[in-house]
Structure 1
Amino acid sequence: MNDSPPVALTSDAAVPKGAHAVVTGAGRGIGTAIAEQLVRDGFAVTLLGRSRGPLDALAEVLGPPASVCVCDVTDSAAVTRAFAALPTVHVLVNNAGQAESAPVSRTTDALWQQMLAVNLTGTFHCTRAVIDGMRAVRWGRVVNIASTAAQRGYPYVAAYAAAKHGVIGFTRSLALEVATAGITVNAVCPGFTDTDMLTRSVDNIVQKTGRTPEQARAQLAALNPQQRFIAPAEVASAVSWLCSAGAASVTGQIVSVSGGEVM
């Protein structure tokens, strides 16, 4: 039995009092679950997204710890303006994303650029807007929501997978860049998660293969060794931990929330 006293966290590991988090793509799915969890964790949370309606509805449920910011993360100038109007950001969760499928031979330039813009460039825009502020207070958490598509790839989503692979590269590089500044940078990679995005994937399989919705869902769930879909709250729990004082030494990591699909 080890009777040694617990090791104290370093003083700069503690979450700052009144810490402020921004969650992009907060109006639905994983983003909503993350925002809800961070409010429970005691953060003031800015809900950021393109559509005000879902953000306002969520803010009403969450109460005063939550506020709304309408912004398109693909618009560099809009992101700069939006973040300049916010208080210091201690936690940034880059969750805004979009997935569209097509064989490479039918992937248009527009589709390719859209997948990069939303999933990768938007992550860059928002992170660039907050990183100097985190440096100034010498505390920060950047959590990028990627995908198992960034770890293993899937057919017919080459543009999406390429963008999410880029998110992982960005995560690892930035983690090293700010390692001595009290800032951690990590990525969370959910497997197929029970959200609107999953519903669209199922609809796409049904349309293109003639399978029933039940068969399509079973096909996707079978990729998870646990034979199930991930719940948004499970992704939110991983984000919560990465934003905690106890994860101060965890940086540059790619956390797969996928039931063992990626090891």
Structure 2
Amino acid sequence: MPPLVRRLPEGSVALVTGASRGIGRAMACALAEAGAHCILVARTVGGLERTDDLIAARHGDAGDRTARRATLLPMDLTDGAALDLLGPSVMARFGRLDILVHCAATLGVLTPVTHMDVAAWQDCLALNTTAAWRLIRTTAPLLEGAAHGRAVFLTDAHACVPAPFWGMVAASRAAQDALVRTWACEIPATSGLRVNLFDPGIVATRMRRQAMPGGDPAPLPRPEQVARQIVPLCLPGEMRHGQRIVAMPVVQQG
């Protein structure tokens, strides 16, 4: 892919959840390429290290730990107490947060509404809904204090369009979307903070393989292609706010 030409302001700090794989990993790499120092959040340490290595390799600082453009923060986003400390920890370490991109999510269990397991339902809500709320609460003071704060929350079509067996993820995503858009409404017009939802559509990720194990991933957009559509939402010139933005179709070559 050609390099990104749009750059973030010097010293920008971005926090990306779900950064150990898929769109989260691609998003972290894209923001680092655009000039941000990225805080990588996910449960899987090995996946975070792989993302860190990819970023370092692309920017020629693989041998210099002090020059790296990423900080690893292994965390279970369903751990409320730990998540509540995230904002203060970022402030203590970096003194700022300019960008939040929330990619972490779970598919839950595809099953009829009447067959939903209580534990699976609670787990799905914990990551897809409650974690988003806690992220908003813990990072809002930093994002509101940034000159051009930007927050992007990934969503999907099931939050708006019901489909059989997708009730668990649909309900949790719809609740997240309502929270995000309500928060956007509450931000003063004089603030530089912009908050949006982004629906990447069907992408060649592990979550997609879990949902459709027999599907052919070849014609699907790659996470890297989707990430490049999200980066503009993180730039100072982006004026959209409180919107649900759907990814543009990607034509695969070859």
Which whole-Å CA distance do the structure 1 matches of 2:158 and 2:236 have between them? 29
How far did residue 22 of structure 1 move?
0.4
Percentage identity across aligned positions?
29
Quote the residue 2:194 is aligned against.
184
Q: Does 1:256 align with 2:246?
A: yes
Which whole-Å CA distance do the structure 2 matches of 1:76 and 1:16 have between them? 32
Contact 1:71 1:82 in 2 (8 A): no
Q: Does 1:174 align with 2:183?
A: yes
Q: Does 1:81 align with 2:91?
A: no
Code of the residue aligned with 2:198 in structure 1: it is: V
Structure 2 spans left out of the alignment, 5+ residues: 1-6, 57-67
Instruction: Say which one has the larger Rg.
Output: 1
How does 1:222-261 map onto structure 2 within 5 Å? 228-247=219-238, 249-257=239-247, 259=249
Number of matched pairs: 227
How far did residue 16 of structure 1 move?
4.3
Q: Output one character per residue of 1:35-88: Cα deviation in whole Å (capped at 9) or x when no partner.
A: 111011111001101111110121122120111001111112111223322222
Q: Does 1:97 align with 2:97?
A: no
Which whole-Å CA distance do the structure 2 matches of 1:258 and 1:241 have between them? 13
TM-score normalized by structure 2? 0.83
Which whole-Å CA distance do the structure 2 matches of 1:234 and 1:15 have between them? 19
Contact 1:188 1:238 in 2 (8 A): no
Which whole-Å CA distance do the structure 1 matches of 2:172 and 2:231 have between them? 24
How far did residue 139 of structure 1 move?
2.9
Quote the residue 2:154 is aligned against.
145
Structure 1 spans left out of the alignment, 5+ residues: 1-13, 204-212, 222-226
Contact 1:191 1:229 in 2 (8 A): no
Contact 2:99 2:150 in 1 (8 A): yes
Q: Does 1:57 align with 2:67?
A: no
TM-score normalized by structure 1? 0.80
How far did residue 231 of structure 1 move?
2.1
Code of the residue aligned with 1:193 in structure 2: it is: V
How far did residue 234 of structure 1 move?
2.8
Quote the residue 2:33 is aligned against.
40
Judged with a 3 Å threshold, the aligned counterparts in structure 2 of structure 1 residues 57 and 231 are, in CA distance, closer, same or farther, namely closer
Code of the residue aligned with 1:254 in structure 2: it is: R
How far did residue 229 of structure 1 move?
2.1
Contact 1:230 1:258 in 2 (8 A): no
Which whole-Å CA distance do the structure 2 matches of 1:139 and 1:259 have between them? 28
Which whole-Å CA distance do the structure 2 matches of 1:194 and 1:51 have between them? 20
Quote the residue 1:122 is aligned against.
131
Contact 1:190 1:230 in 2 (8 A): no
How far did residue 98 of structure 1 move?
0.4
Q: Output one character per residue of 1:14-47: Cα deviation in whole Å (capped at 9) or x when no partner.
A: 9543010000010000101111110111110011
Q: CA RMSD in A?
A: 2.0
Query: SS in structure 1 opposite 2:226?
Result: helix
Deviates more, 1:128-137 or 1:78-87: 78-87
Which whole-Å CA distance do the structure 1 matches of 2:211 and 2:70 have between them? 31
